[in-house]
Amino acid sequence: MTEIYPQSLVEVDGTWYALARSASDRKVLVVRGNVQGFEGERQGDALICPLTPANAAALRARLPWLRPTLLGLQPSFGFGDRLGLATPGHVRALRGWDSLSRLSAMGQPLQTVSSGTAFPGRGRLESLPHIAPIFAQQSVRENARTRRTPQQVLDDAMWGLFQEGWRGLWGADADHLKTPEDVDAFAAAGYTLYTVDPGEYVDHAVNTASPAAVTEKVMALPWYTLEDMPEDMERRYVGRSFDLGDFALTFDRPRLYRAAAKYGWAIVHTVQMYRHIAGRVGRDRFELEISVDETDTPTSPEEHWYIASELKRLGVRWVSLAPRFVGRFEKGIDYLGDPDTFAAEFARHVAIAQALGPYKISLHSGSDKLTVYPIVARLSRGLVHVKTAGTSYLEALRTVAQLDPGFFREILAFARTRYRTDRASYHVSARLTRVPAPKSLDDAALLGLFEQFDARQVLHVTFGSVLDRFGERLLATLRAHEEAYYAHLEAHLKRHLTLLES
């Protein structure tokens, strides 16, 4: 016996496709009709197929809406998923928030069928979201820690979309790419957005360097590669005023030289990455995001103007750019900083993006930044992309804490031992001394940890170690209680989306 997910049911050219759960809670693809290209076992007139990469590719070839696509300048939201189980909850959050993306009613709930039983009919699915979703999004760093491949991340998202009957556009983000070698596996899998992270090439020492040291750094830039000379650069900027409506940007030589010294090498690296991606994917078959957010110092409006102007001069085309904002965008918690200061700087970044693009301003570590979402909605002029990832993992742990408190205590105790090591590659400020020992908390108090600053960060950044130790058990728990996990995801992420609309 197999239980069909009713929203997955679809018929195309006389062949039926559906996702189902078997008695062992393993999900399978059921195909009736033309089964050429699929691998599986015959049961009556159906082919029961495991969720393999080959069967995922065969299904994408038949159902084009299961392929990621370019999203352009639509406001967009990245639903990162570190476990490969969250996409149905992400879809429900988006549907539940946006009335235009709600799908037509499907009639009956999950139903039982066996071989020889005809598939029931279903309504046509439509989707017109205000915010375009990116359902496959994972960085190279996260892939390494979760031991997943870009193809697995894309396929897991696709199976979740198929399960929920999603028929709208969606994107796939190869996040925080640092080297040309990082690109190839994402390109082979068919990703559509490539986020280049040149942060290691940003020279933060410039901010406190002497004028002579700054000049020396500028003269040492690879001017041949930049297709430029210092005197030509000066003619483009020094003494000029760039009118952006409510404000203007004016460069003198010291300000220009500091921008060039700080970001010149990052521009070189971004251009090289862009050209490599274009060569692998095709110039018109991908979108680029530029990310300078994981840096020590904020990106000033003048620096933003310099970065964008130089990349544009060098022929780079991009759809979004992530500056390093004022304040702190730490993992798993709300914005740390003055909202009014953020609003003033954000408005300037948006004005620059509109003048030199248009392109979207991207908020990385966007999970749980609920304080700034209304500001972003008010000031972005629709030119915005938000990335989330760790918050969906925290909702997985919340589900475990609710359903199996003993198991969650084991996870928390282990995470506390790993935090000092695992925090090294993140901008976080949680203190272990503020995270209670799990044995000191009753079951109800465990859920309160998900509203506590330090506990959220400790749980957030230790995900790789936790998956190494408890991965199979964690995934089995969530699979057995998938509806509870989806409900937590829907409620939590709907809060994000609602505030982005306000």
Q: Which of the residues are catalytic?
A: 175, 289
Kind plus residue range of the DSSP H or E element containing 301: helix 301-313
CA dihedral 81, 85, 86, 87 (to 10 degrees): 100
CB 28 within 8 A of CB 51: yes
CB 184 within 8 A of CB 273: no
Number of H helices, E strands in the chain: 17, 17
Judged on CB neighbours under 10 Å (0-12, 13-18, 19+), 462 is buried
3-state secondary structure of 32: strand
Q: Where are the beta strands (DSSP E) in 323-476?
A: 360-363, 384-388
Two structure tokens written together for 243: 């009118």
165 phi/psi in degrees, rounded to 5: 70, 30
CA-CA distance, 385 to 366, in Å (whole number)?
A: 9
Q: CA torsion sign, 101 to 104 to 105 to 106?
A: negative
